[in-house]
A = this chain, B = another copy of it.
């Protein structure tokens, strides 16, 4: 399908705010097909790329985390995840690091479940999701030392996930995406 009529061209961009875990820029853009058309401003969020991990133990339990989320102002039930740091050599390296830091778990059986856009309308980053099979705990969680991470571990039998989604206990879009990708990849996982 020819999408050229839908394209835009960014003429200039400027930093609006630097907010630690993301920055905000304003792009001044016009339609690609019409040089004469006027410029419009679009605000874009630039977080680092993100990773999420579904760690599943040999007993069929998902290693989940409960933590206070400052966006919504309450505690949520999620899977481990975080940012790809500049010191991570790849997204899966970031996933291995985050899983260990947040939960103390490791796995030697990692499966990539796919890459998605958290929000292509206003964010530039991608999120990679991984399944970590046969996950086992080798140490206690080690938080990042900033004093802002405090996480409670919850082992949830994997067959309970659909009811937790239906009941509105699991509400984080990227966590729901992770479980959907795991299901889509079902054939490849056996």
Question: Are A174 and B70 within 8 A (Cβ)?
Answer: no
Closest to A118 in B: B173
Main secondary structure, interface of A, reads mixed
- One complex includes copies of this chain to the number of 2
Question: Are A174 and B171 within 8 A (Cβ)?
Answer: no
Q: A27 contacts the other chain (Cβ, under 8 Å)? A: yes
Interface size class of A (residues with CB under 8 A): 35 or more
Question: Are B43 and A150 within 8 A (Cβ)?
Answer: no
Closest to A124 in B: B71
Q: A3 contacts the other chain (Cβ, under 8 Å)? A: yes
Complex Cα distance, B66 from A184, in Å, reads 23
Tell me the A residues contacting B by CB distance below 8 Å. Answer: 1, 3, 5-8, 10, 16-17, 19-22, 24, 26-27, 29, 31, 37-38, 40-45, 47, 66-73, 75-76, 78, 114-124, 127, 146-148, 150-152, 154, 162, 165-166, 168, 171-174, 176-177, 179-181, 184-185
